[in-house]
Amino acid sequence: MSDNREAAEQQHAAAQGALAAPVDTALALDPGFTGKYTHGLDGKGRLIIPVVFRAALGEKFAVCPSPDFRNIAIYPLTAWIERRNEYISLCKKDANMRRILDMYTKYSFVDSEMDTQGRLLLPLSLRQKMLGDAKEVDIDGSYDHIIVQDSHRGEEEDLRFNDDFPDVYAYVASVQRMG
């Protein structure tokens, strides 16, 4: 980022009363899954996992529904277990959470792995439910997991984001003021 652009962003944030907190050193060392990549699915339903994501996933990982149940998510096993345990604990607060937990585990495939070329065979039932007949998908970093979605849906999501957040600085500032 250029110095002028960074200075302008700091001035805008200050004007909004939203100077960002200093970066946590631990977070700076672990950026999580970041970036957006587009790949095609081959005839067998295999997806190339971007090289930058492979080491963080580990040899075995979980392929499951995304948190909104609209896309596919790929989690390192420890992060998948945390999500599942969160759903289990929420079942104690709300009986309907059991249906969400059941759907989550029904479409979760743990111990998934890539082949030697970095390809992942997406489970057919999950692929059909979440991607339909999509041939091209976006593979997006989402901090502790990866989202796989139909590229057309990804474009629509980007447009909705711009409509929903016409002034990101102002929105972030309002959340920061919530305290």
Judged by phi (left if over 0) then psi (alpha if -120 to 50, else beta), residue 111 lies in left
For 122, list phi and psi in degrees, rounded to 5: -70, 130
Do 73 and 66 meet the contact criterion of CB atoms below 8 Å apart? yes
Tens of pLDDT, residue by residue, the chain (179 residues): 444 444 444 443 344 343 344 444 544 556 789 999 999 999 999 999 999 999 999 999 999 999 999 999 999 999 999 999 999 999 999 999 999 999 999 999 999 999 999 999 999 999 999 999 999 999 999 999 999 999 999 999 999 999 999 999 999 999 999 97
Distance CA 38, CA 137 (A): 6
For residue 25, the model assigns a pLDDT of 52
Question: What CATH architecture applies to the domain 31-177?
Answer: 3-Layer(aba) Sandwich (3.40)
Each domain of the chain, given as residue ranges in start order, spans 31-177
Q: Which H or E run contains 137?
A: strand 136-142
For residue 21, the model assigns a pLDDT of 42
Distance CA 36, CA 25 (A): 24
